[in-house]
Amino acid sequence: MTPNPRDLPRTTFAVLFIVVLLGASLWIVRPFLGPAIWAAMVVVATWPLMLRVQRRLWGRRPLAVAVMTLLLLLLFVVPLTLAVVTIVGNADRIVDWAHLVTGFRLPPLPPPWLAQLPLVGDAITRAWVQAGALGLSEALPRLSPYAGDLTRWFVRQVGGLGFLLLQFVLTLLLAGVMYATGDDAVRRLRRFAVRLGGPRGGAIVDLAGGAIRGVALGVGGTAIVQALLSGLGLLVAEVPFAGLLTALIFMLCIAQIGPLPVLVPAAIWAFWDGRTGWAVFIAVVATVVGLLDNVLRPVLIRIGADLSLMLIFTGVVGGLLAFGLVGIFVGPVVLAVAFTLLEAWIADGDPADESPPP
């Protein structure tokens, strides 16, 4: 019996069944969506590197997968271990600084040059005078009502550490599986894209991969360069916890915040420690490194993906605000695919034999 194409109830129930099936499937795999997205972004961005490693290892895919998985593990575990070792090894200094900070009091008047700064000089001077009239030891009792909220927030963050580690382990395992089965996954994805979007489906898959690699090279490469230069400056200036601060700068650069939230306080600390020359040096490093991303990121993005810079930048910033850190990769992919489909749809409407007017 041939189904009637005009059987509206049958079509409605079929579509409803598919929607319910898809919704139930997404609900079941919901705990794995975050790690799967992160693993897919990492694998797509590092796939050319994995192929080079495989060629160096006599074409053995299992060996290449093991090496790449180990590299990902070291990328996360080593910085975290160094941070913990640094904090534990300097616990006594942290306690001494805490006692020193609680008794710290600003001078009653700021330096004369500070009041002469254009636009912000008067505001900084007033804030200085108000802060100088009140030491931190006297301000702590006023902040005590907020201690309970801060403690509860800290407990929540610590409680989420186990979940974060679980997410990381899942991401690592899924990335290893994707490295091992990436070729088959790409073939299935291409077949699905062609089935869904026709001949342009395969090109859309290539476009999405190029966008992910471009963003990974631009954002990740710029963050690495900024973190290394900032860490070198902090190390030369003998700023305490230079390694830990470098790791923090790297994370801030990945999140598109930049290195200034770390370098500016470091320069202020060096100034108050009586090391004016090193304070100026850190300020110069902060200026150079802070402006570096405006030059380096566009170049690296264009190397990784032949896409509009404005499209990539809008996708990075908008994706970060909409989806969090993973949105840095998801945003440009979505915009690139949407823009390409829109251009193809407009091009299909142009007459093939349109001749210019006389």
Could you tell me if residue 257 is inside a domain?
yes
Highest mean pLDDT among 122-126, 213-217, 345-349: 213-217
Q: Are 278 and 238 in contact (CB under 8 A)?
A: yes
Q: Would residue 148 count as lying in a domain?
A: no
Residue carrying structure tokens 């534990």 = 88
Choose the final residue of a domain: 145, 162, 196: 196
Domain boundary among 196, 213, 231: 196
**Shared-domain flag, residues 189 and 107:** yes
206 & 120 share domain: no
| 52 plus 176 within the same structural domain | yes
Q: Which of these three, 196, 212, 231, is where a domain ends?
A: 196
For residue 353, tell me if it sits in a domain: no
Is it the case that residue 8 has pLDDT exceeding 90?
Answer: no
**Both 187 and 311 in a single domain?**
no
Q: Residues 208, 184: one domain? A: no
Instruction: Answer whether residue 161 is part of any domain.
Output: no
pLDDT in tens, 55-65: 999 989 999 99
For residues 230 and 224, give the distance between their C-alpha atoms in angstroms, rounded to a whole number: 10
Q: What confidence tens digit (pLDDT) does each residue in 153-183 have?
A: 544 544 445 566 677 788 889 999 999 998 8
* 338 domain residue, yes or no: yes
**Is 350 within a domain?**
no
Q: Which long-range contacts (CB under 8 A, 24 or more apart) does 293-301 make?
A: 293/222, 293/226, 293/253, 293/258, 296/221, 296/222, 296/225, 297/218, 297/219, 297/222, 298/218, 300/214, 300/217, 300/218, 300/221, 300/222, 301/214, 301/215, 301/217, 301/218
Cα-based angle 81, 35, 59 (whole degrees, multiple of 5): 80
Q: Tell me the pLDDT band of 321, cut-offs 50, 70 and 90.
A: confident
For residues 218 and 93, membership in a common domain is answered with no
**Same structural domain, 270 and 204:** yes
String of b and e for 23-43 (b: at least 16 CB within 10 Å)?
eeeeeeeeeeeebbbbbbbbb
Residue 57, domain member (yes or no): yes
HEC states along 221-272?
HHHHHHHHHHHHHHHHCCCCCHHHHHHHHHHHHHCCCCCHHHHHHHHHHHHH
* Helix 30-56 and helix 8-28, axial crossing angle in degrees, nearest 10: 70
**How far is CA 191 from its chain centroid?**
31
Same domain, 276 and 246: yes
The domain tally of the chain equals 2
Which residues lie below 8 Å from residue 129, measured CB to CB, with a gap of 6+? 108, 109, 110
In the predicted structure, residue 333 carries a pLDDT above the cut 60: yes
Q: What percent of the chain has pLDDT over 70?
A: 70
42 and 187 housed in the same domain = yes
205 shares a domain with 190: no
52 lies in some domain: yes
pLDDT for residue 226 is more than 80: yes
pLDDT of residue 87: 58
Q: Is 306 exposed, middle or buried (0-12, 13-18, 19+ CB in 10 A)?
A: exposed
Statement to judge: residues 269 and 330 lie in one domain: yes
Q: What is the mean pLDDT of the chain?
A: 77
pLDDT at 356 over 60: no
251 and 111 in one domain?
A: no
The domain in which residue 51 lies consists of: 32-134+170-196
pLDDT of residue 268: 87
DSSP for residue 145: G
Q: What is the tens place of the pLDDT at every residue in 29-77?
A: 888 888 888 888 888 888 988 999 999 999 899 999 999 999 888 876 6
Could you tell me the pLDDT band of residue 303, with boundaries at 50, 70 and 90?
confident
Alpha carbon 55 to its chain centroid, in Å, reads 30
